[in-house]
A and B are shown apart, each in its own frame.
Chain A
Amino acid sequence: GAGVSQSPSNKVTEKGKDVELRCDPISGHTALYWYRQRLGQGLEFLIYFQGNSAPDKSGLPSDRFSAERTGESVSTLTIQRTQQEDSAVYLCASSSQLRETQYFGPGTRLLVL
């Protein structure tokens, strides 16, 4: 594909509901990253995947957050029992391999009411 794509672009949900955010990386990119950007803050690392290696989940803020990736393709970030503090822009990035430039998608703007 031309770039990293994410869906939905905007999501409004009620507190307590589960949400799924999708990321399509650039074709052929083996590394995929999720970040969270809260209003007025920098990006916080959440998780990254590299090929078939175990993902680095060290940035996930709680056990309500999880992510999956099938092979070297699509990734889904799931937030269970959403809370208002989960409201943020969730950004996905991919790179051709680790230590290479990360290319970012446009993000999913999540609002939890």
Chain B
Amino acid sequence: AQSVTQLGSHVSVSEGALVLLRCNYSSSVPPYLFWYVQYPNQGLQLLLKYTSAATLVKGINGFEAEFKKSETSFHLTKPSAHMSDAAEYFCAVSPRGGSEKLVFGKGTKLTVNP
């Protein structure tokens, strides 16, 4: 079985500051890992995904995430926050070779202060 824990339901940063959103996963098989972003009243948009290639994954809008097997983590970072980054972020896991349904964390709402 797979599960995802996102530490911090709310994160607040200043514009220009580092963004760090934490995600830890549990999976009995090698996972695929995803970060999605949800802007208000919109559906989810894929930011980036890890599917066993490079452990450092670069996504859209300057975001990146690093897969660390030893720590079972897949934290999302961005060097410099922009006001437009304010949204809710979801980490998700799916097992390789099995059911393709995504298991999501509860989400982290990012606020960017001017």
Q: Using a CB–CB distance below 8 Å, which chain A residues touch chain B? A: 4, 31, 33, 35, 40-45, 48, 50, 56, 58-59, 91, 93, 95, 98-99, 101-107
Tell me the complex Cα distance, A105–B93, Å: 19
Name 29 A/B residue pairs within 8 A (Cβ), A-sorted: A33-B101, A33-B102, A35-B102, A35-B104, A40-B106, A41-B107, A42-B105, A42-B106, A42-B107, A43-B44, A43-B90, A43-B102, A43-B104, A45-B103, A48-B100, A50-B100, A56-B101, A58-B99, A58-B101, A91-B43, A98-B100, A99-B100, A101-B46, A101-B49, A103-B46, A104-B44, A104-B45, A106-B41, A106-B42
Count of B residues near A, CB < 8 Å? 24
Could you count the A-B residue pairs with CB atoms below 8 Å apart for me: how many are there?
Answer: 56
Q: Using a CB–CB distance below 8 Å, which chain B residues touch chain A? A: 4, 6, 9, 32, 36, 41-46, 49, 90, 92, 96, 99-107
